[in-house]
A and B are shown apart, each in its own frame.
Chain A
Amino acid sequence: MPRSRSSHQSHENHSLAAVIPFIGMPAGPAVHNEIDPFILGMPFPLGWISVWVVLTAIIMAVVYLIDPANREDAP
């Protein structure tokens, strides 16, 4: 099935966006393994991970929206 240039482009974009959590999630504890500052009442590493869990869901929602596979006319 030949892909149009635009759908190929957006395929790469949405795959690329999905890489972000793999970097963001471990980055906090890697750079700053200290208890302060607390995030939402939690020690920094735990707060950071929790925030990134939510960000991961948001990123995946964006990925879902720009992924041509989820368009109404997609198989």
Chain B
Amino acid sequence: MTAALALIALAALAALALGLVARAGRDMDLEQWAVGGRGFGWILVFLLLAGEIYTTFTFLGASGFSYGLGAPVYYILAYGSLAYVIAYFLLPLVWSYGSQHGLHSQPDFFVRKYASPSLGVLVSIVDLVALIPYLVLQLTGLGIIVTAAGYGAIPKDAAIWIGAAIVTVYVIMSGIRGSAYTAVVKDILILVVVLFLGIYLPLHLYGGIGPMFEQIAAAKPGFLVFPASGQSVAWFISTVLLTAVGFFMWPQSFGAAYSAKDARVFRRNAIILPIYQLILLFVFFVGFAAVLQVPGLKGADTNLALFKLATQEFSPAVVGLIGAAGVFTALVPGSLIAMTAAMLLSKNLIGVLRPEATDAQTLALAKWFVPVVMLVAVYFTLTGNTTIVTMLLVGYSFVTQLFPAVIASLMPRNPMTPAGAFAGILVGAVVAAVLSFTHATIGSLFPALPQAIRDLNVGIIALVANLVAMVVVSSVTRPRAIPAA
């Protein structure tokens, strides 16, 4: 147990030290803090973009998802690769426009492209509504990891406060550089841990991956293929496509694109990142290995599948190493999210009220917002507000609503007007929120439709409403324009 605690403490200290070292020798002005001086090569950009793959949600969630629901988890592996294909074409355009106009955030992009500060405000609000629950999720995951890997010796609340404090300090000091540098250690640790667990556990407990799946299939028929209704094949396909589209609309990923030194960085990464994604497969294996070994976990407890199995099979030193990797999966994405949220607040919300603010003033204010954002996230984490879970589901569908307006703006002649983009995002976000909070599905809304259509991801409705509003309002506000189909 002492070994485990020591490793977790070491991880926390290492994250803090690396985060602080990241600023060395650099004058941290706004350009450095928010976009790394637009000088990141493919490795740092790779780590920032790959950061999205291994958050605590994937580490705990993907194994728990495999354990609890089986086949539907496969979608996580499928959508990332397709998102990187989209990124090959999308990010170079975002990057070149960003460096041309000195952009620092995702709303900046909309403000410039549509010449509309109010659109920037709307996008900032959509982004914040998505980002805060995502940050809460990282802190919640951190609490679970530290408690489980520390054999309960560290109280959950203490772990969350300490984690939040570390992130706050190094984000203020080093900005995006802190995230990129800590990501180096995070990815090495997670690679070692996940490959080890994903290969060793099936081999040791079942005699191999094939035999493991055969035994699960025998014990739980149907668990390893998509169910006939609900999270069916139709759900899988629609969810994969929708999620792939939304992936790079997350403001922290979109904004990370500005940090690259040239456009080829993204194209190269579109080749490597899908392969890197395959590591997720081994997270699935851990979750599946737990199915017959630690049965009986229900609901939120399925997130503990990985740790339950690990504490049963390994010495505290190994559990501690898993915990250390887990700490990094919470802190690194958390830091990028905190920086992005602080930047949005300073530049795109408060900035609208004081357009004369200099870059130095914007940065100073953003740094003040870092602890504010973290405190809000800690508050929601500790109170365990249940609406936050729903809000997280809303988050993904929220950011996806930005996709049509981004694509339209990248066309040689934008067919959409600022008012159209505003209406589309607003309508899409409202529909997405209503659908999530009422737990509606296409099946519950239109029970008469064939099963395959009833199972389609409900996010499609929000996106269609968005498109309709965008096209209609665009054609009204620019009468002579030809509406895009």
Contacts and interface: CB of A to CB of B under 8 A. Distances in A.
A22 B85 contact: yes
Which of A50, A52, A60, A63 counts the most B-chain CB atoms under 10 A from its CB? A60
Contact of A57 (B78, B208, B263, B271): B271
Interface in A3-23: 15, 18, 21-22
Contacts of B88: 18, 60, 63-64
B271 A64 contact: yes
A42 B461 CA distance: 34
Given A43-B213, A43-B217, A35 B224 contact: yes
Given A22-B85, A26-B236, A53 B226 contact: no
Given A26-B237, A29-B236, A56-B274, A45 B225 contact: yes
B71 A42 contact: no
A21 B233 contact: no
Given A29-B233, A52-B81, A57 B226 contact: no
A46 B82 contact: no
B263 A22 contact: no
Given A50-B278, A69-B92, A60 B270 contact: yes
A53 B277 contact: yes
B210 interface: yes
B294 to A, nearest CB: 21
B165 interface: no
Nearest to A29: B233
B224 A46 contact: yes
A33 B39 CA distance: 46
Contacts of B241: 22, 26
B464 interface: no
Nearest to A20: B85
B267 A22 contact: no
Nearest to A44: B225
Nearest to B284: A46
A46 B278 contact: no
A30 B263 contact: no
By CB atoms of chain B within 10 A, which of A15, A22, A44, A70 has the most? A22
A46 B92 CA distance: 31
Contacts of A56: 81-82, 84-85, 274
A60 B269 CA distance: 10
Contacts of A2: none
Contacts of B84: 56, 60
Given A22-B85, A33-B226, A35-B217, A45 B267 contact: no
Nearest to B221: A35
Name the residue among A41, A52, A64 with the largest chain B CB count within 10 angstroms: A41
Contact of A21 (B82, B213, B267, B284): B82
Contacts of B272: 57
A9 to B, nearest CB: 17
Contacts of A70: 264, 267
A45 B226 CA distance: 8
Given A25-B240, A64-B267, 11 more contacts: A18-B88, A22-B241, A29-B226, A33-B225, A42-B210, A43-B217, A54-B278, A57-B81, A57-B272, A64-B88, A64-B268
23 contacts: A18-B85, A25-B81, A26-B236, A29-B233, A29-B236, A30-B233, A33-B225, A34-B225, A42-B209, A42-B210, A45-B225, A46-B74, A52-B78, A53-B77, A53-B277, A56-B85, A57-B271, A57-B274, A60-B84, A60-B271, A63-B270, A64-B268, A69-B267
Interface of B: 71, 74, 77-78, 81-82, 84-85, 88-89, 92, 208-210, 213, 217, 224-226, 233, 236-237, 240-241, 263-264, 267-268, 270-272, 274-275, 277-278, 281, 284
